Structure 1
Amino acid sequence: MTNNAFDMVNINNQIKKLHSYYSPKIIAKVNNEYVKIAKINGDKVPWHSHENEDELFYILEGSLVMELEHQEPFIMQEGDVFVVPKSVNHKVSSKNECAILLIESKTTLHTGNVISEITKSINNQKK
């Protein structure tokens, strides 16, 4: 992540640098929000919610299965945007590698209050 408000980031180059799945990387800050990228491949993201924050998903590459509690799952394709409202229990997965961009408040824990093998602290997401 850059600290200079005038630094440009190439998302395609940043995706190529991602070597781990389920490990969001912060690539920019906008006001009180982080812009993150991540790769998903499989079904390791646990059911979770974010009590006080909405979460924006934008599909950069591939497709993502979005599951919301009490609703039918749906598939997001490259170019799709969806906002998970605060307090909605959700999980994501993919059958093949998928690259996503997330916009989340700086206070958002990427697996909510659920601690799992993929949970990363904000400090680890800045590296």
Structure 2
Amino acid sequence: MEPAIDLAAKLATFEGHWQPRTVCEYNGHDVMVVKVQGEYRWHSHAETDDFFLVLKGLLYIDLPEGRTVKLEAGQMFVVPRGVQHRPHAPQEAHLLLIEPSGTPNSGDPATAAPRRVI
């Protein structure tokens, strides 16, 4: 029998914020966990939507025209492709992300965190 993937255990294996770690692949997509705190940069993804599920903590996602989405543990939000957004967390939050494999987390390969598999 295959072991289950323990997301909390995976999150405990690393430090640092805004550096997603792939825990498995699913139909050509990376399923990732990430620790976030503070503010990330404004960015968009021209080719794909951006999926956020909060596992622990609180996440805000700023959107155009002064709109903000507030996500608590157990809540998710999908930013449509091409929409500028800026995630930020007042304190450390843990997230599950799903993106097509190879998608740069910053929307730009030159500034993206490297792909890390744990």
TM-score scaled by length of structure 2: 0.91
1:71-108, CA deviations, whole angstroms, 9 ceiling, x for partnerless residues?
Answer: 41121100001111110111101110100000001131
- Which deviates more from structure 2 when the two are superposed, residues 66-75 or residues 81-90? 66-75
RMSD: 1.6
Which residue of structure 2 lines up, in the alignment, with residue 3 of structure 1? none
Following the alignment from structure 2 to structure 1, what is the Cα–Cα distance between the partners of residues 66 and 75?
Answer: 18
Which residue of structure 1 lines up, in the alignment, with residue 37 of structure 2? 41
The answer on 1:84 being equivalent to 2:79 is yes
Percent of residue pairs identical:
25
Q: Is there any run of 5+ residues in structure 1 with no aligned partner, and where?
A: 1-5
Number of equivalenced pairs: 117
1:91 counterpart letter in structure 2: R
Which residue of structure 1 lines up, in the alignment, with residue 28 of structure 2? 32
1:34-113 aligned within 5 A: 34-43=30-39, 45-113=40-108
Q: Is there any run of 5+ residues in structure 2 with no aligned partner, and where?
A: none
* Deviation for aligned residue 1:55: 1.4
Which residue of structure 1 lines up, in the alignment, with residue 117 of structure 2? 126
